């Protein structure tokens, strides 16, 4: 008779097996509070109030441990509120420093740089492509190589001058200029 009871307890499919939070605590070795946190994070699968699907929960927890091990994190560490606040303040300070550097023209938004560079390079390209048309009439009647070389060099230097003029204000977007004008009145 004992053998039949033991056979009844054997199961080949554990997909439907649910366990209480206390059993799951014992299996994975964490506190009841951590069990609830893991369930809230979707790692442990709730079947009903206080009951968890054993197979899915254990699989998800093992996967979480593997991912954490690969990234060097401790998946069961409790969040330290003071550390989180300190990190938040650090991020806010960094954002403020970036805004200040932007206002002082020490950094520029990538979209502003892209816009200015496209305009500058388009203008440079147009002027460079215009060099042959501009010089051809002047050079056709000349047979002095030194004069021709000097005329070409002079024109190239003039076209290159298009690239040398850096003005930080060119990199400010209209959004930045408008927000600064509003700041002056506050």
Tell whether 80 is covered by a domain.
Answer: no
Bridging pattern class, strands 46-48 and 51-53: antiparallel
pTM recorded for the entire structure: 0.40
53, β-bridge pairs: 18
The arithmetic mean of pLDDT across residues 121-150, rounded, is 88
Closest to 157 in 3D by CA, of 186, 116, 128, 123? 128
Six-digit token string for 115: 């816009």
Tell whether 14 is covered by a domain.
Answer: yes
Tell whether 98 is covered by a domain.
Answer: no
Q: Please report where in the chains the tokens 């502003």 appear, as a residue.
A: 112
Tell whether 82 is covered by a domain.
Answer: no
Q: Which percentage of the chain shows pLDDT scores above 90? A: 10
Mean pLDDT of the residues in the chain = 79
SS3 42: coil
Domain count for the chain? 2
pLDDT of 157 higher than 70: yes
What distance in Å separates the CA atoms of residue 160 and residue 50, rounded to the nearest whole number? 75
SS3 content of the chain, % helix, strand, coil (to 5): 70, 5, 25
The arithmetic mean of pLDDT across residues 98-121, rounded, is 83
Tell whether 104 is covered by a domain.
Answer: no
Structural domain harbouring 154: 109-185
What distance in Å separates the CA atoms of residue 166 and residue 140, rounded to the nearest whole number? 36
What distance in Å separates the CA atoms of residue 180 and residue 58, rounded to the nearest whole number? 55
**Stretch among 34-38, 147-151, 167-171, 177-181 having the lowest mean pLDDT:** 177-181
Which among 71, 94, 119 is the end of a domain? 71
Tell whether 94 is covered by a domain.
Answer: no
Tell whether 84 is covered by a domain.
Answer: no
Bridging pattern class, strands 51-53 and 18-20: antiparallel
């Amino acid at each position: 008779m004992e053998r039949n009871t033991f056979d009844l307890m054997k199961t080949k499919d554990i997909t439907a097996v649910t366990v209480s939070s206390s059993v799951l605590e014992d299996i994975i070795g964490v506190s009841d509070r951590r069990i609830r946190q893991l369930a809230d994070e979707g790692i442990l699968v709730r079947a009903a109030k206080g009951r968890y699907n054993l197979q899915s929960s254990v699989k998800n927890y093992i996967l979480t441990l593997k991912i954490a091990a690969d990234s060097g994190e401790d998946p069961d560490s409790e969040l330290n509120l003071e550390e989180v606040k300190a990190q938040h303040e650090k991020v806010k300070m960094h954002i403020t420093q970036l805004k200040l550097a932007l206002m002082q023209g020490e950094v520029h938004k990538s979209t502003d740089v892209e816009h200015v560079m496209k305009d500058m390079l388009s203008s440079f390209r147009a002027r460079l492509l215009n060099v042959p048309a501009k010089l051809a009439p002047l050079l056709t009647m000349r047979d002095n190589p030194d004069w021709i070389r000097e005329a070409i060099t002079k024109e190239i230097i003039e076209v290159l001058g298009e690239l040398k003029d850096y003005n930080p204000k060119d990199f400010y977007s209209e959004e930045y200029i408008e927000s600064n004008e509003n700041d002056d009145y506050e």
